[in-house]
Amino acid sequence: MSTPPPPGIYVPVPTFFQSKKSATYNAIASPVDIDTQVAHSIYLAKAGTKGLVILGSTGEAIHLTNKERFNVLSGVRRAFDHEGFKDYPIIAGTATQNIEETVDQLKNAKEAGAQWGLCLVPGYFAGANSQEGIIQWFTAVADQSPIPVMIYHYPGVSNNVKVVPSTYVTLAKHPNIVGCKLSHGDISVHAQIASNPSIDHSKFHTFTGLGQQLLPAISIGVVGAIDGCAGFFPETVVKLYELSIKNQPADEEIKKRRSLQYKLSSMEEIIVKFGTVGIKEAISRLRGLGDPDGTRLPLFRGIPGGEREWSKWKGVVDSMEAEENGA
């Protein structure tokens, strides 16, 4: 059974290229600077970070050839082994759109010494992407990958493609999909994944890609961050992580607060989707006050779809109502 990367702070490292001072400098595509890559990687390992993401978005993966990718990964792996960091985690990024090439990069990453792959959600046809298409894409990749893979959702570089929480629930069941990196600021979506009772969080770890929300993210079940600032202030970011997990309340209290946040975040989606109309609909149906049709133009009647749409919310509404009645 595949295992996820351990909790903690990971660094999405940049790829270093030779400077103008180098005899082999090329203004269009200068060669990679393995020596600097290694020096930076060792510095980060000694500073207490848990692992590295190499060749992610920060690492300009799309700017490198497959040979360069291998040289960077294998160079860092050899340096870690030589410096006494034999089992130090390396997560290799992929950013290609097609399944075959993604799998090839994952195979090369394993050969180079990486233990996990971080696969960017394909977003070229984001407007036409269906959740089922995303599920099948990742399933095909994970079925063929020789190393465990993680879902990398970074809308900013993926044409604003959307991945809904239920898609993570489905993909988390795959034995070779072991986690995700969420590089967006929607903390509610983080909660709907990291605190979701339908996911086995011992086998699927949720990481935030934003250190600026590390403390609140930890409180809802996120296990760590893959954070760019840790590339130059590693000890400070690690310190924040350690303080965030220190003196946590009793297990039952943690479970309860995460359960409540998950339910609330899920319920709030009706407001995200329908705004004031959704609020009025819920108040009318649940508390018998007002009429969801009672709006002023340009708002028009209740939620689109009426009873059929409302029925889709039954599960989360019932769970919130149970909490309300037992509060």
Residues identified as active-site: 181
> Distances in Å between the alpha carbon of 200 and those of 4, 100, 176, 232?
11, 29, 13, 33
Distance CA 235, CA 245 (A): 16
Contact 14, 72 (CB under 8 A): no
Q: Which residues, other chains included, contact 147 with Cβ-Cβ below 8 Å and sequence gap of 6+?
A: 92, 106, 109, 110, 114, 115, 116, 117
Q: Which residues, other chains included, contact 45 with Cβ-Cβ below 8 Å and sequence gap of 6+?
A: 52, 80, 83, 85, 88
Q: Which residue has the tokens 């600032």?
A: 229
